[in-house]
Structure 1
Amino acid sequence: MSGQNASHPVSDDDITPLQQMVSSCSGAFITSLLVTPLDVIKIRLQAQKNPLFKGKYFVYSNGLMDHLCVCENGWSRAHGHFSGTFDAFYKIVRCEGIRALWSGLPPTLVMAVPATMIYFTGYDQLCAVLRRRMGEQAHWAPLLAGGIARVGSATVISPLELIRTKLQSQKQSYQELSHCIRSAVEAEGWWSLWRGLGPTLLRDVPFSAMYWFNYERSKSWLCEHYQSSEATFSITFSCGAVSGSVAAIVTLPFDVVKTRRQVQLGELQASNLLSKSSSSTFSVMRRIVAHDGFKGLFAGFFPRLVKVAPACAIMISSYEFGKSFFHKHNQERRLRLLQTNNT
């Protein structure tokens, strides 16, 4: 991304950090609108609980508590248990309406701008510095810069992501959510708003490190293969999709744990279900494996993969396009200034 290789002439020295921020935001809104339904389905699949009580059915299961209704006439208005991605899509739309697929969109949009600005701009700035200092080992710079930039962005927006996860995992009003959060803060302190940050970092830091490393390497290889002096839209789009897919598969178990821990907000003060020692990332993993088997760690595999691939492709393509636009704009402005000075 930083333009220090021959395959990509756009250098970060040619554009300002503000222009990098604007470039990073252009795809954030589009990406959020397109992938939020897949995120809702993924979270519902990850958060649901398995056991059903005889004579009763789940209205929906959100990982916080089981909402039950008695089936008196042989027909149930409940979702039931989601057996897969398409089953979840059908039942959510049938029971809650099409708008439910965009639940949690406002905090998603609020998250997208600061998270994207911190993440992408931080990555570019760090990568440029590391490449200058690492010399012959500069090909490792994207891996380090991606991981470090992700720590900063994930920590800043963690409370907003928790709110989004709660809205997507359970149909509730903002007033109910506000009461739930206030109760959690009173009972557990402000740190409760960062619930799930540990597994989020375990998921996102290696994801970003792998993503940027694979993206930069594959982009350079394709540019050399097609003898292109500049990464085209198709190259950035395909490299972003493939790199994001690989990273998403490897880090999916931590995504499942993050979802399980975040949807528990508000449950802990009602019943002492989890202790500090038993709510660690790997303790949650052991419980998931014991209850659902090893496949439980990969719940929501398909919607996460379908979400991440286009999201990464759209985001990186729009970012690269924005940087190229500002790069050419700055060059033209400098050229006009030179012409003015000469005359």
Structure 2
Amino acid sequence: MPERATDGASAAISPVQQMLASGTGALLTSVFVTPLDVVKIRLQAQQSPLHQGKCFLYCNGLMDHIYICQNRSSCTSWYKQQTHFSGTLDAFVKIYRHEGLRSLWSGLPPTLVMAVPATIIYFTCYDQLRDFLRFTMGFQGNHIPLVAGGIARLGAVTVISPLELIRTKMQSRQLTYGELCICIRSAVAQGGLLSLWRGWGPTVLRDVPFSAIYWFNYELVKAQLCRQSQITQANFAISFTAGAASGAIAAILTLPFDVVKTRRQIQLGEMDTLGTPLKKTASTWRIMCDIWNEVGYRGLFAGFMPRVIKVAPACAIMISTYEFGKAFFQKVNHDREPVAS
């Protein structure tokens, strides 16, 4: 029963060890992928400098976050250099030469603040749910990763959404913690407690299908590669390959929802920056129709290559590091077990 051995590897480690493995994976993924995001933003800003003078959207393949500019002259430190880039490689070289190596990791701290806790919740819940459905409830079939992945992502998005809102407000203008509390209380007084989950809907529509598709394909590809290699547990190379392929597929299929999410994040961010009173935002379907009417179906797949180029390696690094961490803790636990006489 090689599939059970592969899928059940996490059963030998504790939830705390799963959290350590996923947290390490999120840290490494953010460190490796953030430079790609910085270069993408610089290239986009070059084509349309300071889009409406307000927002930049970072994404490291795991989490999105907005940096909201107060004005054109005091955006981010890394944007002050108006260097022209002819392409991705040219951007890497010129940013390094003219602005220093640290500029390639602009925006890393807020990425880590959101990505690490969200990823810990997400990956730990997925493993626990998958094992519960298969080994406790006795369910079988390829749909188990799909269900567990969707539910785990739903839970992670729900928990993180208020933190995302708080972080966005702190980025929008300089606020002390006291002012932030007043701002949050005011938002709750105006829109109720559910206002802390503003933007939850489009995030769920993008992230839950992505997660379900990703884990469904990942488990299938991983099992197939394990059978071809005649091993019962995936090694680093197999996890990396399966993660990259599954991430690319999920990124392509959910791209329209990502476009809608990006547009809504920027709109909400600009309202916060301008001090505009909160108003009812357009539905996801309405935004999709607007994009279709403006630029056609291609508008729903804008940013196809940048998204795939970032998401595929991010997923590959994250899952391979996570699987390696679980295998490490499994070996540690095995070595600690008393030898049977």
Normalised to the residue count of structure 1, the TM-score between the two structures is 0.75
Select between 252-261 and 284-293 the one with higher mean Cα deviation: 284-293
Partner of residue 301 from structure 1, selected from 279, 301, 304: 304
Give the C-alpha shift of residue 104 in structure 1.
3.3
What secondary structure sits across from 1:229 in the alignment?
coil
Does residue 212 of structure 2 align to residue 209 of structure 1? yes
Give the C-alpha shift of residue 281 in structure 1.
1.3
| Cα separation, 2, equivalents of 1:305 and 1:165 | 25
What percent identity do the matched residue pairs reach? 55
Which amino acid in structure 1 is aligned with residue 335 of structure 2? E
Give the C-alpha shift of residue 183 in structure 1.
5.5
Conserved 8 A contact 1:41-1:89: yes
Q: Which residue of 1 aligns with 2:62?
A: none
Which amino acid in structure 1 is aligned with residue 30 of structure 2? S
Conserved 8 A contact 1:46-1:259: no
Residues 9-56 of structure 1, C-alpha deviation per residue, up to 9 Å, x if partnerless?
753331111111111111111111222243456678899997x9xxxx
Q: Which residue of 2 aligns with 1:253?
A: 256
Select between 206-215 and 95-104 the one with higher mean Cα deviation: 95-104
Does residue 115 of structure 2 align to residue 112 of structure 1? yes
Provide closer, same or farther for how the CA distance between residues 91 and 284 of structure 1 changes in structure 2, counting only shifts above 3 A: farther
Select between 204-213 and 260-269 the one with higher mean Cα deviation: 260-269
What secondary structure sits across from 2:141 in the alignment?
helix
Residues 243-277 of structure 1, C-alpha deviation per residue, up to 9 Å, x if partnerless?
011001111121122222222235167457x852x
Q: Which residue of 2 aligns with 1:146?
A: 149
Partner of residue 219 from structure 1, selected from 213, 216, 222: 222
What secondary structure sits across from 1:137 in the alignment?
coil
| Cα separation, 2, equivalents of 1:83 and 1:295 | 24
1:233-248 maps to which residues of 2 (within 5 A)?
233-248=236-251
Q: Which residue of 2 aligns with 1:229?
A: 232
Give the C-alpha shift of residue 195 in structure 1.
2.8
| Cα separation, 2, equivalents of 1:4 and 1:96 | 51
Does residue 20 of structure 2 align to residue 19 of structure 1? no
Select between 295-304 and 199-208 the one with higher mean Cα deviation: 295-304
Conserved 8 A contact 1:27-1:319: yes
Does residue 189 of structure 2 align to residue 186 of structure 1? no
| Cα separation, 1, equivalents of 2:51 and 2:125 | 44
Q: Which residue of 2 aligns with 1:265?
A: 269
Give the C-alpha shift of residue 221 in structure 1.
0.8
Residues 72-106 of structure 1, C-alpha deviation per residue, up to 9 Å, x if partnerless?
xxxxx9979x9997899899999998756544322
Provide closer, same or farther for how the CA distance between residues 289 and 282 of structure 1 changes in structure 2, counting only shifts above 3 A: same
Residues 102-146 of structure 1, C-alpha deviation per residue, up to 9 Å, x if partnerless?
443222111222212211111111001111366463321110000
Provide closer, same or farther for how the CA distance between residues 338 and 325 of structure 1 changes in structure 2, counting only shifts above 3 A: same
Conserved 8 A contact 2:145-2:215: yes
Q: Which residue of 1 aligns with 2:339?
A: 338
Q: Which residue of 2 aligns with 1:28?
A: 26
Structure 1 residue runs of 5 or longer lacking an equivalent are 70-76
Provide closer, same or farther for how the CA distance between residues 122 and 323 of structure 1 changes in structure 2, counting only shifts above 3 A: same
| Cα separation, 1, equivalents of 2:94 and 2:294 | 24
What secondary structure sits across from 2:142 in the alignment?
helix
Q: How well do the aligned residues superpose, as a CA RMSD in angstroms? A: 4.2
Select between 97-106 and 198-207 the one with higher mean Cα deviation: 97-106
Conserved 8 A contact 2:218-2:246: yes
Normalised to the residue count of structure 2, the TM-score between the two structures is 0.75
Select between 210-219 and 250-259 the one with higher mean Cα deviation: 250-259
Provide closer, same or farther for how the CA distance between residues 303 and 96 of structure 1 changes in structure 2, counting only shifts above 3 A: farther
Structure 2 residue runs of 5 or longer lacking an equivalent are 57-67, 74-79
Structure possessing the higher radius of gyration over alpha carbons = 1
Conserved 8 A contact 1:79-1:91: no
| Cα separation, 1, equivalents of 2:298 and 2:222 | 33
Which amino acid in structure 2 is aligned with residue 5 of structure 1? E
Provide closer, same or farther for how the CA distance between residues 338 and 251 of structure 1 changes in structure 2, counting only shifts above 3 A: same
Which amino acid in structure 2 is aligned with residue 117 of structure 1? I
